[in-house]
């Protein structure tokens, strides 16, 4: 038998060009027929620069950036990039993005809390749609166990605020009344020394008074005792506080401590973005705006 006459089975090569992905999509109800000019231009330019670490994709409001982001995400999955992650601002936006993906016939996995919605992401067959809160919290499963080879940051222009929330420890009454009292007592000598003890009392007790911040020197001096107070309160098991605490626990001396409106907030003065693995490692980051 002449085996040379046998043909190899045709390879089912998945397209990398996001426009080709769009053109090969299944015919489904409510699927857009064509890409708009702005979308086509954005996808072409991204495809030319797909190997770069950081690419900013800007479209006008209402110009269909979600569709662009989904096609970029699918292109990266087709390329074989591991753990492609699409990050949205809120759970509602996650669901909106999910609906757009379903219209296009693009497979996806959701994770906003708890488990993944299916096994596609874990097996490398689809990207994961999640929130900034889930992705950037101090105990993020996505960054710990499924570190992404590529991330699409949707609404990148508002991401700073959302990331800052993940790095802010807010201790308030009535949820953490005792811990709030202990932290207030810890800093009272400092405010008394600088003649601001009445301002501290007013800032915590009155919703109409301006917040007041402890001096950087006071925070540095009391950081060790502040850490002990937080740990002794059981913060590592607190569902509301443990995530941000994990970000801050080794850097409390570099944080701002602000009292006001029945609470104390502890947060870095500047976000340490370039100390985060997602911005340190060789990751393809795509910013949609």
**Digits of tens for pLDDT over the chain (289 positions)?**
555 555 554 445 889 999 999 999 887 777 788 899 999 999 999 999 999 999 999 998 888 999 999 999 999 999 999 999 999 999 999 999 999 999 999 999 999 988 899 999 999 999 999 999 999 999 999 999 999 999 999 999 888 899 999 999 999 988 899 999 999 999 999 999 999 999 999 999 887 889 999 999 999 999 999 999 999 999 999 999 999 999 999 999 999 999 999 999 999 999 888 889 999 999 999 999 9
* CA-derived radius of gyration, the chain: 24
**Residue 86: its pLDDT value, please?**
98
Measured CA angle at 227 (ends 224, 229), to 5 deg: 110
With a CB cutoff of 8 Å and minimum separation 6, the contacts of 264 are 170, 171, 172, 180, 183, 184, 204, 257, 258
Encoded tokens for 29? 């109800």
- 179 touches 231 (CB < 8 A): no
Is 196 strand, coil or helix? coil
Encoded tokens for 184? 């207030």
Encoded tokens for 178? 């005792």
* Residue extents of the structural domains in the chain: 18-165+274-288, 168-268
Topology annotation, domain 18-165+274-288: Rossmann fold (3.40.50)
Total length of the chain: 289
With a CB cutoff of 8 Å and minimum separation 6, the contacts of 101 are 70, 107, 108, 129
With a CB cutoff of 8 Å and minimum separation 6, the contacts of 186 are 222, 225, 226, 229
**Residue 61: its pLDDT value, please?**
80
Rounded Cα distance between 74 and 81, Å, is 10
Residue 174: alpha-carbon gap to chain centroid:
28
**Residue 207: its pLDDT value, please?**
78
Query: 10 Å Cβ neighbour count for 47?
Result: 16
**Residue 12: its pLDDT value, please?**
52
Helix 65-79 with 91-104: angle, nearest 10 deg = 70
- 81 touches 9 (CB < 8 A): no
**Residue 5: its pLDDT value, please?**
55
**Residue 218: its pLDDT value, please?**
98
pTM: 0.88
């Amino acid at each position: 038998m002449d085996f040379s006459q046998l043909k190899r089975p045709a390879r089912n090569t998945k397209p990398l060009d996001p426009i080709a992905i769009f053109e090969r999509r299944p015919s489904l109800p409510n699927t857009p027929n064509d890409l708009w000019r702005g979308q086509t231009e954005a996808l072409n330019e991204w495809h030319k620069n797909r190997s770069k670490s950081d690419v900013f994709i800007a479209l006008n409001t209402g110009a269909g950036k979600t569709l662009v982001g989904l096609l970029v995400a699918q292109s990266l999955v087709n390329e074989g990039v591991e753990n492609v992650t699409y990050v949205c601002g809120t759970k509602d936006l996650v669901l909106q993005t999910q609906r757009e993906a379903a219209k296009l016939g693009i497979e996806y996995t959701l994770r906003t809390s708890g488990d993944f919605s299916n096994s596609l992401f874990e097996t490398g067959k689809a990207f994961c749609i999640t929130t900034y809160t889930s992705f950037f919290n101090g105990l993020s499963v996505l960054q710990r166990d499924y570190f992404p080879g590529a991330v699409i940051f949707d609404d990148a222009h508002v991401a700073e605020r959302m990331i800052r929330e993940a790095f802010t420890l807010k201790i308030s009454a009535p949820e953490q009344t005792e811990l709030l009292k202990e932290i207030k007592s810890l800093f009272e000598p400092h405010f008394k020394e600088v003649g601001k003890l009445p301002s501290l009392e007013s800032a915590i007790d009155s919703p109409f008074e301006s917040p007041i911040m402890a001096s950087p020197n006071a925070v540095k001096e009391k950081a060790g005792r502040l850490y002990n107070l937080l740990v002794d309160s059981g913060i590592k098991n607190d569902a509301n506080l443990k995530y941000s605490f994990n970000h801050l626990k080794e850097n409390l001396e570099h944080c701002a401590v602000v009292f006001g409106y029945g609470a104390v907030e502890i947060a870095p003065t500047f976000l340490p973005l370039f100390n985060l693995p997602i911005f340190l490692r060789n990751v393809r980051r795509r910013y949609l705006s």
